[in-house]
Amino acid sequence: MKLSMFLSYACVFVFCATFFQGCFSAAPERQNNRRKQPKAGPSTAVFPVGGGIYPDGHFYARVNIGQPPKPYYLDIDTGSDLTWVQCDAPCVNCPKGPHSPYKPRNNVMQCKDPFCAFITHHPNFPCHNPSDQCDYVIEYADHGSSTGVLVKDNVPIQLTNGSVLYPALFFGCGYDQDIQGSSHPPFLDGVLGLANGKSSILSQLHDIGVVRNVAGHCFSHNGGGYLFLGDDLVPSSGIVWAPMLQNSHEKYYSLGPAELFFAGKNVAKGGLSFVLDSGSTYSYFNKQAYQATITMIKKHVDIKQLKDAPEDKTLPVCWKGAVPFKSVSDVEELFNTISLRFKKAKNVMMDIAPQAYLIISNYGNVCLGILDGSEVELGDLNVLGDISMLDKLVVYDNEKQRIGWISANCDRLANTDPDYKEASNSNISREKLYVTPDYSVVLSMLEDCYEVDIFSP
Ligand X SMILES: *[C@@H]1O[C@H](CO)[C@@H](O)[C@H](O)[C@H]1NC(C)=O
Binding residues for ligand X, rule: CB under 6 A, are 37-38, 40-43, 159, 161-163, 165, 210, 426-427
Nearest to 13 by CA among 119, 168, 140: 119
CB of 157 or CB of 345, closer to ligand X: 157
Spatial distance between the Cα atoms of 133 and 113, rounded to a whole number of angstroms: 10
| CA dihedral of residues 396, 401, 407, 412 (deg, nearest 10) | -40
Contact 348, 268 (CB under 8 A): no
Residues 6+ apart with CB under 8 A from 7: 139, 140, 141
Query: Phi/psi class of residue 451: alpha, beta or left (left: φ > 0; alpha: ψ in -120 to 50)?
Result: left
In this complex, which beta carbon is closest to ligand X, that of residue 57 or of residue 230?
230
In which element (H, E) is residue 46 found? strand 45-52
Q: Look up 132 and say whether it is catalytic.
A: no
> How many helical (H) and strand (E) elements, i.e. helices and strands, does the chain have?
7, 27
Task: Tell me how crowded residue 341 is: count the other CB atoms within 10 A of its CB.
Answer: 15
Active-site choice (153, 277, 312, 386): 277
Residue 171 to residue 84: CA distance in whole angstroms = 5
CB nearer ligand X, residue 202 or residue 296:
202
DSSP assignment letter at 354: G
CA atoms within 13 A on the CB side of 164: 16
56, 77, 132, 312: which is the annotated catalytic residue?
77
**In terms of Cα–Cα distance, which of 52, 70, 2, 419 is closest to 225?**
52
Closer Cβ to ligand X, 159 or 423, answer by number? 159
Q: Can 277 be counted among the known catalytic residues? A: yes
- Give least dist CB 195 to ligand X, A: 23
Between 41 and 379, name the residue whose CB sits nearer to ligand X.
Answer: 41
CA atoms within 13 A on the CB side of 184: 10
64 or 220, CB closer to ligand X? 64
Q: How far is the CB of 390 from ligand X (least distance, A)?
A: 31
Residues with a known catalytic role: 77, 277
